[in-house]
Structure formats: structure tokens, C-alpha cells
Amino acid sequence: MVVRFFSLAVVAVAALVCGCSREPSAADAAQLDALAARVAALERRKGLVEDVNAIERLQHAYGYYVDRGLWDEVANLFADDGTIEIGLDGVYVGKARVRDYLYALGGDRQGLLDGELNEHLQVMPVITVAPDGRSAKARWRAITLTGELGREAFWGEGPYENEYVKRDGVWQIKTLHWYQALHVPYEGGWQTNPDPTGAKFVSSTLPPDRPPSVEYQTWPNTYVPPFSFPNPVGKYVASE
């Protein structure tokens, strides 16, 4: 709406100038140039906001499908050459391998069992869109609540550092990397339990295409992965 307003303003001023004189004055020309520059800046801003919103919807869809164990739908959010890296399981390359990994993680079945919980909350996004609007990076904070009624319950936490690519106007996940800060039994909590998984879930039975891109130790040890964005940060940062 704002961009449209300024576009109409440029047209109106141009019409006024042309109606008054065949050759606009230097002041009129400068005014038109300033308005045109303003409109161009607003167009860039509009495109950036639309890209950020699209990336947020993409990541929200990822979390929604993971919550419900809909692994085919999760895999379809990835680029054909996309990768997934969860904890220290290693890197799985290509959409087919992403799907294989997700099914292995979910017990080789689509969906959840009765009484099974797989909540995957994604918060605190910081999204950086590249100047050409064709790629982006984002950091998210994930909080997980998993388990099965009457058997076990876990909760976990850790950041995502993801990359995205826009192809044919559609944003897709290029690389998804979750750093597992902790994953501990709910009973007793993090204050009494170390991470029993060591951030490895299925790599012993489904070998990765590449080893982990980063080696680190999980709770009670701590590791803070490098940030993909500069400081200071807002909801989004645009590279100029």
C-alpha cells in the first residue's frame, strides 16, 4: 500500500511538471529523482518483508509437520539438494536421504502412536536475506517435548542454524542444522540428568553421507554455535 502510494505520487508529480512546462526545472527534476529513489527503496523493503514472512511460514510448516510425525511433508519442504543435520548424527544429503533420515528418526513410520508426543517449538527467529533475494540464513531456538504416555518423557533445547534458497519464486530449506544443547529425561530435569543420547539417534543404523560438520559435547557440557547474523540484530537483517 505504501509503495503504491509513492508510485502514484511520482506519476502525479510527473504529470504536474509536464503540464506546466515541456522542460522541467532543475528543482522539479530533483524532486522526481528523490521520489523515484524513495519508491525504489520501498520496493526493496517490501520484497525483503515478503521474503522474511515466507521463510517464517516455511519454518513454521516444518515444525507443524514434525510435531505430527508427517515425514513426507517435512521432506517436501527441502530443496532437491538440501541437507539435514540433527545433533551429531551427521549430514544427510538430498531430499531422498532427508526423508530416509526422518523416517528412521520417527521409528520407520508416518505419524505418531496414540499417546506419543513430539512437540517441536521454534522461537526467536533472526533471518538474514541475501541482497539478491535468492538465499537466506536464519537462527531459531527450538524447545522439544517428546515421549510416550506411561513410558518415558524427555525435554530438550538447542538452536537451529539454517540456510534457505528461493527457486521459481518458492522458498525451500537448503541446509537444516540443529545443535542439540540438551535432551534429558523430564523426571529430575536437567539439574540432575546428563544428556543420555550424546546427540546421536539413528546414525549407527543409517550411516550419514558426511560426518558431523561440527564436533561438540552436549549437556552437562555447553557449546554455543557461531551466529549467522551480525550485531545489532532486529527481527530481520538485510545485507546491503
Show the domains of the chain with their CATH numbers. Answer: 42-238 (3.10.450.50)
Q: Report how far residue 109's alpha carbon sits from residue 112's, in angstroms, rounded to the nearest whole number.
A: 8
The per-residue pLDDT for 213 is: 97
* 31-63 tens-digit pLDDT: 877 777 777 667 777 778 899 999 999 999 999
Beta strands in the chain (DSSP E): 78-86, 92-93, 116-129, 135-148, 152-167, 170-178, 182-185, 236-238
- Global pTM value: 0.81
* 81-126 tens-digit pLDDT: 999 999 999 999 999 999 999 999 999 999 999 999 999 999 999 9
Q: Report how far residue 86's alpha carbon sits from residue 160's, in angstroms, rounded to the nearest whole number.
A: 9
Cβ distance 199 to 218 under 8 Å? yes
